């Protein structure tokens, strides 16, 4: 009897798996896919004045193709400008291709691109190495050599004359050894969008990266420091840093203890409207800041008698003995509070505290869900909302 049952199960389980795989593979998804746009075959003495960046395509695909499209560059969008011979305004139809089977294009927008073609100009631009990711623990980034260090940047006059920053992204994630590679220069606007209507000569840059044992890098968020106070009834609704985080270099033991960096003081006295300023950073001893010490900050101010928004830096509590916090993402939590007008105007980061309960966290990455019990509030103050609802906290063993 038992043998018969086992035989039946041995047959049924593979059959069920095959049925599931068949249903999975035959399922369809219809979705919108944003595909980077590439302008091709434009004459070297011409440039596109605008900056078309992507095509939004409505696609129908089987399950497996759907996941490939979501996680790879199997879709391409190109606009062939080989027919353009002189400056002027032109309409061109993008061509979309998919390096996958079982994918059908439903429609896409814009289906016709309007491009303004102008004379191209050229300038020499210095390339900045943009290091992304973290080396393996206990390893330090040595000399980074680009060859060449300058390129000819070719594009429309309005863009080239603004001298945008040219950078080369170099991913060092998990590296333990020195390496050589090649990369393509990129240009981004002030909002962080990639600029596509420029060309470079040469198009490929040789990169040599030295990796050695020693210091490590860590990217951390910023924590504002204030002097003065806003007039009664006014409160800070949002703090925007540019850049939003900074990279530090030091020994692993030193960086493990740092979760954010405080700014120099921002003066709030008499402020009743949004304002921007530049602040410095209070860098601890034996820690090196990678990049500039000047940070742009925008303070947004609202007026209300009953509600108030604060940005909190969590305090870590109930950590299991033998573990410590290595990193947290994001590093701050936004809260909205409510209460009587005479009390709500007195709340601040000194009397509103987020005690992040880590008693269930283990070594490695942990998603910690916030709840109202973790917030310490003044009497008669209520917590209306907080964002984000979860934090990713990485714990490591103490030495």
Domain that holds residue 71: 27-118
pLDDT of residue 232: 59
Q: Which residue has the higher pLDDT, 100 or 113?
A: 113
The model's pLDDT over 165-223, given as tens digits with 9 standing for 90+, comes to 788 999 988 888 899 999 999 887 766 677 888 888 898 999 999 887 776 778 888 99
pLDDT of residue 230: 78
Separation CA 94–CA 91 (nearest Å): 10
Distance of CA 94 to the CA centre of its chain: 29
pLDDT of residue 6: 44
Query: Residues 137, 112: one domain?
Result: no
pLDDT of residue 233: 57
pTM equals: 0.44
Q: What is the mean pLDDT of residues 320-330?
A: 90
Strand partners, 335: 310, 386
Answer yes or no: is 367 within a domain: yes
Separation CA 68–CA 63 (nearest Å): 9
Q: What is the mean pLDDT of residues 227-253?
A: 81
Query: Residues 76, 105: one domain?
Result: yes
Query: Residues 203, 223: one domain?
Result: no
Answer yes or no: is 20 within a domain: no
Answer yes or no: is 4 within a domain: no
Query: Residues 392, 281: one domain?
Result: yes
pLDDT at 7 over 60: no
pLDDT of residue 292: 78
Query: Residues 249, 355: one domain?
Result: yes
Considering only CA atoms, which of 99, 103, 281, 122 is closest in space to residue 198?
122
Query: Residues 253, 365: one domain?
Result: yes
Q: Which residue has the higher pLDDT, 364 or 254?
A: 364
Considering only CA atoms, which of 261, 268, 266 is closest in space to residue 279?
266
pLDDT of residue 393: 93
pLDDT of residue 70: 65
pLDDT of residue 23: 45
Answer yes or no: is 286 within a domain: yes
Q: How many domains does the chain have?
A: 3
The model's pLDDT over 242-291, given as tens digits with 9 standing for 90+, comes to 888 888 888 777 787 888 899 999 999 888 789 999 999 998 887 888 87
For residue 141, the domain's CATH number is 2.170.120.40
Separation CA 60–CA 72 (nearest Å): 16
pLDDT of residue 20: 44
CB crowding 171-202: b at 16 or more within 10 Å, else e: ebeebeeeeeeebebbbeeeeeeeebbbbbee
The model's pLDDT over 366-390, given as tens digits with 9 standing for 90+, comes to 999 999 899 999 988 888 778 899 9
Query: Residues 150, 169: one domain?
Result: yes
The model's pLDDT over 114-167, given as tens digits with 9 standing for 90+, comes to 889 899 888 888 898 888 888 887 777 888 999 999 998 888 888 887 777 788
With cut-offs at 50, 70 and 90, classify the pLDDT of residue 332: very high
pLDDT of residue 21: 44
For residue 44, the domain's CATH number is 2.170.120.30
Answer yes or no: is 221 within a domain: yes
End position of a domain, from candidates 192, 213, 234: 213
Query: Residues 133, 205: one domain?
Result: yes
Strand partners, 320: none
User: Residue 318: left if φ>0, alpha if ψ -120 to 50, beta else—which one?
Assistant: left
Query: Residues 181, 77: one domain?
Result: no
Query: Residues 136, 63: one domain?
Result: no
Q: Do residues 6 and 80 touch, judged by C-beta distance below 8 A? A: no
pLDDT of residue 190: 65
pLDDT of residue 192: 66
Lowest mean pLDDT among 34-48, 57-71, 320-334: 57-71
Query: Residues 331, 221: one domain?
Result: yes
End position of a domain, from candidates 82, 98, 118: 118
Q: What is the mean pLDDT of residues 39-44?
A: 86
Answer yes or no: is 360 within a domain: yes
The model's pLDDT over 282-306, given as tens digits with 9 standing for 90+, comes to 988 878 888 778 899 999 987 655 6
pLDDT of residue 22: 46
Separation CA 361–CA 368 (nearest Å): 8
Answer yes or no: is 291 within a domain: yes
Going from the C-alpha of 72 to that of each of 28, 76, 191, the distances in angstroms are 18, 11, 25
Q: Which residue has the higher pLDDT, 62 or 210?
A: 210
End position of a domain, from candidates 194, 213, 232: 213
Answer yes or no: is 18 within a domain: no
Query: Residues 285, 246: one domain?
Result: yes
């Amino acid at each position: 009897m038992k043998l018969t049952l086992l035989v039946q199960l041995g047959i049924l389980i593979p059959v069920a798996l095959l049925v599931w795989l068949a249903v999975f593979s035959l399922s369809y998804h219809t979705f919108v896919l944003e595909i980077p746009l590439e302008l091709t075959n434009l004459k070297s003495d011409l440039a596109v004045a605008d900056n078309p960046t992507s095509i939004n395509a409505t696609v129908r695909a089987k399950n497996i193709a759907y996941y490939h499209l979501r996680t790879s560059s199997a879709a391409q969008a190109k606009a062939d400008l080989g027919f353009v011979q002189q400056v002027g305004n032109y309409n061109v139809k993008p061509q979309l291709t998919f390096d996958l089977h079982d994918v059908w294009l439903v429609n896409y927008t814009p289906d016709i691109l309007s491009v303004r073609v102008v004379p191209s100009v050229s300038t020499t631009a210095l390339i900045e190495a943009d290091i992304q990711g973290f080396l393996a623990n206990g390893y330090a980034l040595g000399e980074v050599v680009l060859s060449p260090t300058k390129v000819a940047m070719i594009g429309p006059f309005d863009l080239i004359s603004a001298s945008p920053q040219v950078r080369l992204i170099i991913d060092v994630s998990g590296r333990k050894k020195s390496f050589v590679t090649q990369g393509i220069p990129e240009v981004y606007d002030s909002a962080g969008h990639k600029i596509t209507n420029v060309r470079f000569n040469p198009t490929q840059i040789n990169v040599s990266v030295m990796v050695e044992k020693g210091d490590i890098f860590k990217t951390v968020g910023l924590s504002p420091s204030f002097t003065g106070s806003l007039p009664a009834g006014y409160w800070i609704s949002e703090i925007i840093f540019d850049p939003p985080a900074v990279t530090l270099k030091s020994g692993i033991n030193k960086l493990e203890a740092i979760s954010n960096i405080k700014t120099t003081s921002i003066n709030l006295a008499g402020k009743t409207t949004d304002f921007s300023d530049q602040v410095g950073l209070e860098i601890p001893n034996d820690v090196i800041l990678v990049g500039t010490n000047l940070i742009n900050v925008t303070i947004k101010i609202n007026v209300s008698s009953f509600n108030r928004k604060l940005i909190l830096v969590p305090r870590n509590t109930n950590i299991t003995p033998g573990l410590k916090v290595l990193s947290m993402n994001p590093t701050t939590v936004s809260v909205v509070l409510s209460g009587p007008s005479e009390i709500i105007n007195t709340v601040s980061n000194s009397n509103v505290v987020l005690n992040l309960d880590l008693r269930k966290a283990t070594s490695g990455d942990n998603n910690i869900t916030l709840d109202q019990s973790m917030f310490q509030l003044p009497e008669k103050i209520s917590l209306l909302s907080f964002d984000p609802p979860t934090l990713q906290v990485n714990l490591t063993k103490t030495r």
